[in-house]
Structure 1
Amino acid sequence: KKEKVDFIVLLTQSEPELNIEILEKYPEINAVLAEEKSEKYNFVTYVGEKPIVSPQGNMGSIVKIDIFKNKDGKIKQSLEFLPVDSSVPSDKEMLKLEEFYKEKLDRDLGTVIAKNNVKLDSGFGENHHARYEESNIGNLIADAYKNHFNTEIAFMNGGGIRANIESGDFRLRDAISILPFSNKVGAFKYSGKTIVEALEHGVSSVDKKAGRFLQVAGMEYSYNPKDEVGSRVSNVTVNNKPIELETIYTVALPLYIKNGGDGFQMLKNTVGTVEIDSEKNIDSDIFIDYVKKIKVLNPKLEGRIVVK
């Protein structure tokens, strides 16, 4: 506003209701570019004449916004979704580069690192069930974090799991497709009270399949989605014993949620850090090391999370 711009675009990774609330509160914003709501469809919602735009996920489409300033100074805009698929011709020089790196990546990422006996299923691109219930792939990732940092507990936010993998040879590319963002992971000390608050926050928006839902290792919990938000979680145990609110526990978790991402403000309240010898802290690196170590993947649903 200080620079007297004509058009303000807001980039968000927020829930649709919050985007609407922001547009209503800050009328000087002209458009919102939001995260995808589907891997198959485009979505646009208007607040007055101002759009909240969600293109198709996984780069299935992009949105083009044309902005016009009339002689009277009024701004108008129009938008269209453009598919990103085989109908888009490749630039010839870029295609050569693409083919060179694709061949190299296929060679490097095709390395078999384990045998996978079951489908690793997060529901990604389908029902996204890792965002509201226990998943075998969530268990495997959380186990990897717990093993690497030698903690009592580990968390993995369900929204960070980005693939399903069929049984068979488990290759390097499979691990990276599951955890593609190179997010960092760390280990910290939390009170039992803070851990329960985090679990409550994780189940607070399961009806919207929000990515904050927590897959876990080293603990179990139950929740009832029909109960009031903030009072949904029960039967929390750590190492098969009821959690003690004043006891301090060690927890491995993505730094994204530790630093307050997905609304986990309570996870900023650490009471210490867990130090280990390894300098590795990238999620996919930790996961790959664990997969190589156990050699055979056979994760099961173990009742870590019970939906009432």
Structure 2
Amino acid sequence: MTNRLKALALASLCATPLAAEPVKITLLGVGDVYAFDGDGKQGGFARLNAVARAERAANPNFLYLFDGDMLSPSLISGFDKGQNTVELTNLVPFDLAVPGNHDFDFGPENFAEKMKASKYPWAAINIEGIEGLGGVMVKEVAGVKIALIPVAQDTSPQVANTGALVFSPTVDTAIEAAKAARKEGADLVVGVVQTDVYNDLKLVHSRAFDVVLSGDDHQYGTSYDGVTAYVETSVDARHLSPVDLMVDVTEKDGKRVVKWTPSFRFIDTALVTPDPETQALVDGYKADLDAKLNVVIGKTETALDSRRNVVRGEESAMGNLIADAMRAAVGADVALMNGGGIRADRTYDAGVELTRRDILTELPFGNTVALTEIPGSQLLAALENAVSQVEKGSGRFAQVSGVSFVYDASAEPGKRVSEVMVGGAALEADKLYKVAVNNFILDGGDGYDALGGGRLINDTGAGVLVANAVMAYVEKAGTVAPAVEGRIKALGQ
């Protein structure tokens, strides 16, 4: 552990009087809150703020903790780069916030600007290069010393625009800091982390933490193995789980003895009355966006599906529509779109009208369409990358146009793809192909290093936005009918 980390972790761990009797301490963790109004009925900041206000009023021994991702992606963030989320959370400030990977989508300079505008502290012990970003925080609550271990996702440079920031390993750094805090006298050690469930399990199984509050997976879940209480904090504040810890601090043989038991509560925010002050801000944002975006651009004859598990794991009609539009926009042989860049997480019935709002909700990142020329060997490597983590639901899974292939998820990553066809002919390793991609994966995002080094045909800095390419494609057609047609086949399915 660095001297800086030790200092941040240990500075506040001083002697504290014993609690006179057991105390209830409430922890509320939340993360991955993108849509300012949720879906209009569940989630969103007005309902989240209502819950946080109520929890704080009910118990002064309350910690409100954010575990990553709010500045991006969302429909409105394409206009204000996440400023709306800062204004909304400043109404009910967090005790601590950890940056998620998507908080760097608009670059580290934008994150630093938004951090300074926040009325609460941001921290991550495994990021170097951001002035003012804090480290381990120790809070004394009702005589109980709580060490908050804030940790960001070390894969952020692969999926976001982190610039020159340096990320140390999520799991190793977190466990080292947790053990150090415990050694120096923390009564409770709480991990506030943004990382996937595989790393969450490593943190839980390390037995270094009393509580782990984690974001990133867009799921809700709780568990307790007798040592560590764990909450996966949902998405858009749809479901919340305050954790009540009954903590008893005593002294035995001259040593401080801490015992605690957790109680998980479940809150479906569809049943929560929005906070009025926050709702007033939300209504203003909605009115502004409605004027800009509720414009019909066309119709789909077929059903569309952009649910997270679909676009990150199989061919989808929405993915095909987007990839076809990208290929048409620049006259490419092939188009690849990373599933993690498709974000609306919804379905569309056949026959519905499509609006600007729909497309910009699906494609909120502001990426441009790039056209590069690469040999078939590099295209094959890119497809291998696309399915290299399909079992994890990774955002690198590709939606494609102009190409078809078969893959075997049981094979070793890098050796999964076969039967690649481009334009009805077998892929040739030495043949040059024009490939449309977004500028994020062209730059190596989501592990697409194989796309680099080709002949760049168009200027990505002035390229058409992916969202604009899709809107133009739908408007020109008037009616589209994308369908799942066997572009991507998994063995065994």
TM-score range, shorter chain: 0.7 to 0.9
Once the 2 structures are TM-superposed, how far is the Cα of residue 226 of structure 1 from its aligned partner?
Answer: 3.6
Which residue matches 1:112? 296
Residue-by-residue CA offset, 1:151-176 (whole Å, 9 max, x unaligned): 22111122332332222221222212
Separation of aligned partners in 2, 1:111 and 1:189: 36
Which residue matches 1:134? 315
Secondary structure of the corresponding residue to residue 180 of structure 1: coil
Separation of aligned partners in 1, 2:359 and 2:304: 11
Structure with the bigger RCO (C-alpha within 8 Å, sep 6+) is 1
| Worse-superposed segment, 107-116 or 182-191 | 182-191
Which residue matches 1:151? 332
Which residue matches 2:489? 306
Which residue matches 1:4? 8
Once the 2 structures are TM-superposed, how far is the Cα of residue 148 of structure 1 from its aligned partner?
Answer: 1.9
Tell me which amino acid in the other structure corresponds to 1:301: V
Cα gap change, 1:99 to 1:231, in 2 (>3 Å): same
Residue-by-residue CA offset, 1:223-269 (whole Å, 9 max, x unaligned): 2334343322111122222212233323222333333333x153363
Cα gap change, 1:295 to 1:268, in 2 (>3 Å): same
Cα gap change, 1:4 to 1:93, in 2 (>3 Å): closer
Once the 2 structures are TM-superposed, how far is the Cα of residue 32 of structure 1 from its aligned partner?
Answer: 5.9
Cα gap change, 1:140 to 1:9, in 2 (>3 Å): same
Identity among equivalent pairs (%) = 29
Structure 2 residue 38 is the aligned partner of structure 1 residue 34: no
Q: For structure 1, which runs of at least 5 residues remain unmatched after alignment? A: none
| Worse-superposed segment, 80-89 or 96-105 | 80-89
Separation of aligned partners in 2, 1:256 and 1:79: 42
- RMSD value over aligned CA atoms? 3.6
Tell me which amino acid in the other structure corresponds to 1:182: G
Secondary structure of the corresponding residue to residue 90 of structure 1: coil
Cα gap change, 1:84 to 1:187, in 2 (>3 Å): farther
| Worse-superposed segment, 286-295 or 93-102 | 93-102
> What is the total number of aligned residue pairs between the two structures?
301
Which residue matches 2:374? 190
Look at both structures and tell me which one has the larger radius of gyration over its CA atoms: 2
Which residue matches 1:269? 452
Separation of aligned partners in 2, 1:292 and 1:222: 32
Once the 2 structures are TM-superposed, how far is the Cα of residue 14 of structure 1 from its aligned partner?
Answer: 4.6
Once the 2 structures are TM-superposed, how far is the Cα of residue 276 of structure 1 from its aligned partner?
Answer: 5.3
Once the 2 structures are TM-superposed, how far is the Cα of residue 116 of structure 1 from its aligned partner?
Answer: 1.6
Separation of aligned partners in 1, 2:435 and 2:210: 40
Separation of aligned partners in 1, 2:393 and 2:326: 23
Q: For structure 2, which runs of at least 5 residues remain unmatched after alignment? A: 10-146, 154-193, 251-255
Cα gap change, 1:14 to 1:231, in 2 (>3 Å): farther
Separation of aligned partners in 1, 2:218 and 2:277: 33
| Worse-superposed segment, 80-89 or 132-141 | 80-89
Cα gap change, 1:198 to 1:268, in 2 (>3 Å): closer
Tell me which amino acid in the other structure corresponds to 1:43: G
- Give TM-score, length-normalised by structure 1: 0.79
Which residue matches 2:13? none
Separation of aligned partners in 1, 2:413 and 2:407: 10
Tell me which amino acid in the other structure corresponds to 2:318: I
